[in-house]
Amino acid sequence: MGSLASAGGHVDDLIVTAQQAGPIPLNASFRCAPGELLALVGPSGSGKTTLLRTIAGLYQPQRGQVSCAGATWFLAQGGQRLSLTPQQRQIGMVFQDYALFPHLTALQNVQLAMGHLPRAKRLEQAVQWLTKVRLEGLEARYPSELSGGQRQRVALARALAREPQALLLDEPFSAVDQVTRRRLQRELAMLRQQISIPIILVTHDLEEATALADQICVLHNGVSLQQGTPEALFRQPASPLVARLLDRHNVFSGEVVETDAGRRLQWGEWLLEVSEGIAQCEVGESLAWYLPPSDIVLHRRGRPSQGERENPVAATVSEMVVLGGMTSISLRVSHGDMLRFDIATHAAKRNQLSLGERVHVSLLAEGIHLMPAQRTQTASHNKRNLL
């Protein structure tokens, strides 16, 4: 565990590692600092919910550790075995379908989670929690008399009423309509400013994760592939798999070559300049690389653009999809790869872009992110060593 703690974390963090071969394969580790929101993202079956249940004490993997605020909640390593019950762990959990007690009112649902307080204080506190989630006046309603969004708020109030050391949210926005979801997400973001405990959000919605999370951990088949800020993940996915799971396009393969001007990345007929990481690569090495769509600059017709001299590439417009104010453009380069990026629809019109047309773009050297196969393996190898 020492290696994880030394990786820039703090002993107060929620630290989770879980490993097992089956029945649900797991090989995951992540951490979340107090006040931070960590989103666990991945396709269904990637183990997100299982990991959340592991934190809550509702599931026990064969090996692993869960500790929070300096206390060990679960430990199964070597001969050691320790597991606190969900009651002992002091977590607040919001279930996917909220799991409100149908025979209790909103107020009673919240009061029930206040066993740690003297009986006389519970009512007053419960009313306060319901006010905090903007449910004043609805205290006497039963869950069946509340809307989806209101139920979610009761569930959140009940989770927080326990004064938990960690807040666990299992796809809390999936059961409500789009408008309600936006509103609830906003409320969660505001509520966060009042609580300083680790928050784990399980979601398959990347947009939601990007909007709400400080950190994202990408999971696939029970394996945690990468943890980082949304910005870092979207600009520098650790592997082509992470890029694919994050719905990133513009993942290509290239080869490192030595030229008179220095080391370059050969991509089809193009020799691309790369700002970072290429010096560590061996000449002749084949590797995957990725370019964020924001780092593809379309050259204006007849007018020089910023960065025009940087990695200029000629391509043919093969697809244009207008999605409201933005247009998604796909360009085919000579060796068949497709570059995809979005530009404002008015900019596309101004440039008179049309299908089959030849255009020029610059691939900004700073944005090119190399993903050598070897390093990807090393990264996952290191993760194994952490456990």
Partner 1 sequence: MDWSAFSVSLRLAAFTCLFLLPLGIWWGRVLATAQFRGKGLCEALIALPLVLPPTVLGFYLLQQFGRDAPLGGAWAALTGGGLNFTFSGILLASLIANLPFAIQPIQRAFEHVPANLREAAWCSGLSPWQTLWRIELPLVWPGILSAAALTFAHTLGEFGVILLVGGAIDGETRTLSIAIYDRVQAFDEQGAASMSALLLVISLATLGLVYGLAGKRRWSRG
Return phi, psi of residue 293, to 5°.
-60, -25
Residue 116 is a binding residue for partner 1 (CB under 8 A): yes
Q: Candidates 82-90, 120-128, 237-245, 274-282 — which segment interacts with partner 1 by CB under 8 A? A: 82-90
CA-based torsion, 40, 42, 45, 47: positive or negative: negative
Output the smallest distance, CB 126 to partner 1, in A: 12
Q: Candidates 5-13, 139-147, 251-259, 322-330 — which segment interacts with partner 1 by CB under 8 A? A: 139-147
- CB closer to partner 1 out of 143 and 372: 143
Residue 84 is a binding residue for partner 1 (CB under 8 A): no
Q: Candidates 26-34, 155-163, 182-190, 263-271 — which segment interacts with partner 1 by CB under 8 A? A: 155-163
Tokens of 293: 């769509």
Residues 42-71 binding partner 1 (CB under 8 A) are: 56-58
Output the smallest distance, CB 317 to partner 1, in A: 50
Q: Candidates 89-97, 192-200, 268-276, 348-356 — which segment interacts with partner 1 by CB under 8 A? A: 89-97
- The residue from 86, 148, 228, 312 that contacts partner 1 (CB under 8 A) is 86
Residue 96's closest CA among 176, 180, 37, 41?
176
Helix residue spans in the chain (DSSP H): 2-5, 48-56, 86-89, 106-112, 119-132, 148-161, 178-191, 206-212, 230-235, 240-245, 345-350, 373-386
By DSSP bridging, strand 166-170 and strand 91-94 are parallel
Tokens of 163: 């004064």
Output the smallest distance, CB 96 to partner 1, in A: 8
CA-based torsion, 34, 50, 59, 112: positive or negative: positive
3-state secondary structure of 242: helix
Output the smallest distance, CB 181 to partner 1, in A: 21
Residue 144 is a binding residue for partner 1 (CB under 8 A): yes
- CB closer to partner 1 out of 103 and 384: 103
Residue 337 is a binding residue for partner 1 (CB under 8 A): no
- The residue from 26, 40, 66, 113 that contacts partner 1 (CB under 8 A) is 113
Residue 112 is a binding residue for partner 1 (CB under 8 A): yes
Query: Could you tell me which residues come within 8 angstroms of residue 101 by beta carbon, excluding any fewer than 6 positions away?
Result: 108, 109, 112, 143
Residue 148 is a binding residue for partner 1 (CB under 8 A): no
- CB closer to partner 1 out of 132 and 332: 132
Output the smallest distance, CB 105 to partner 1, in A: 8
Tokens of 344: 């404002």
Count Cβ neighbours within 10 Å for each residue of 292-324 and write b for 16 or more, e otherwise: bbebbbbbeeeeeeebeebbebebebeebeeee
Output the smallest distance, CB 11 to partner 1, in A: 24
Output the smallest distance, CB 120 to partner 1, in A: 18
By DSSP bridging, strand 26-32 and strand 14-20 are antiparallel
First to last CA, the chain: 7
Residue whose token pair is 């870092």? 232
Q: State the number of binding residues for partner 1 (CB under 8 A).
A: 29
Output the smallest distance, CB 49 to partner 1, in A: 11
Residue 91 is a binding residue for partner 1 (CB under 8 A): yes
Element (H, E) at 140: none
Residue 158 is a binding residue for partner 1 (CB under 8 A): yes
- The residue from 145, 231, 258, 282 that contacts partner 1 (CB under 8 A) is 145
Q: Candidates 24-32, 66-74, 81-89, 174-182 — which segment interacts with partner 1 by CB under 8 A? A: 81-89
Cβ atoms within 10 Å of 254's Cβ, excluding its own: 22
- CB closer to partner 1 out of 84 and 271: 84
Side-by-side strand order, sheet with 262-267: 270-272, 262-267, 251-259, 286-290, 369-371
- The residue from 6, 85, 352, 385 that contacts partner 1 (CB under 8 A) is 85
**Site residues for partner 1 per CB under 8 A:** 56-58, 85-87, 90-93, 95, 97, 99-104, 112-113, 115-116, 142-145, 158-159, 162
